[in-house]
Chain A
Amino acid sequence: GAGVSQTPSNKVTEKGKYVELRCDPISGHTALYWYRQSLGQGPEFLIYFQGTGAADDSGLPNDRFFAVRPEGSVSTLKIQRTERGDSAVYLCASSLGGVHTEAFFGQGTRLTVV
């Protein structure tokens, strides 16, 4: 596709469950970013991949959060033992080069933990 694609667009899960959020970046983009956005706030950085490796995962809030990008393209953000405080819109972005280039964002996944 032409843009960054995120699935699902909405996810409702029960507290304590495991969820996976998927991001398909723009073809050829080597850098991929995950952000989380709560209502009324700006996006908060979670993790950044350059190729297959996590170049910076300093934004992951705790060890319940994990992300992979095994082939350097699609990425999956995994959240274990979800909590109500994890409810937010999870945004994925990709860029052609590294952090110094323009990032293109997907439409996000709205996660609601009930």
Chain B
Amino acid sequence: SQQGEEDPQALSIQEGENATMNCSYKTSINNLQWYRQNSGRGLVHLILIRSNEREKHSGRLRVTLDTSKKSSSLLITASRAADTASYFCATVSNSGNTPLVFGKGTRLSVIA
């Protein structure tokens, strides 16, 4: 089963614009992670935000977490053509040892 739901499913922007992707989830979490995937193969870890954190930055990436709304957002600023990829959020439950549960992803296309 998939817990996270990314929104939108697909996003197309011009190079230099900002891209915002959202993720909603259902259960109480320990942390939420964002991953990037090129060409349907390996996933690259982007950022991990814990349930007691509200915002994190990494380079051009900014992630927010609102546990009251069970949602997170990933902002990519000043996008580049090389940012074209699928982006997934994945959650780790607060209960037990449940591994990452992924959403279906947002397909981002950055047009040069």
Q: Who on chain B is nearest to A39 by CB?
A: B40
What 6 A-B pairs are tightest by C-beta distance, nearest first? A42-B102, A107-B42, A105-B43, A48-B99, A99-B99, A42-B104
Q: Mark A11-44, 1 if CB is under 8 A from B, else 0.
A: 0000000000000000000000101010111111
- 4 additional A-B pairs beyond A42-B103, A103-B45, A105-B45, beta carbons within 8 Å, are A33-B99, A43-B100, A102-B33, A102-B48
Please state if A104 and B45 are interface contacts (CB–CB under 8 Å): yes
Min CB–CB distance B92 → chain A (angstroms): 5
Binding site for A on B (CB under 8 A): 2, 4, 30-31, 33, 35, 40-45, 48, 88, 90, 92, 97-105
Give the size of the chain A interface in residues (CB under 8 angstroms). 27
Q: Mark A76-95, 1 if CB is under 8 A from B, else 0.
A: 00000000000001010100
Binding site for B on A (CB under 8 A): 33, 35, 37, 39-45, 48, 50, 55-56, 89, 91, 93, 98-100, 102-108
Residues of A within 8 Å of B97, CB to CB, are 48, 50, 55-56, 98-99
CA distance A45 to B99 in the complex (A): 8
Residues of A within 8 Å of B33, CB to CB, are 102-103
CA distance A33 to B97 in the complex (A): 12
Residues of A within 8 Å of B105, CB to CB, are 41-42
Min CB–CB distance B7 → chain A (angstroms): 13
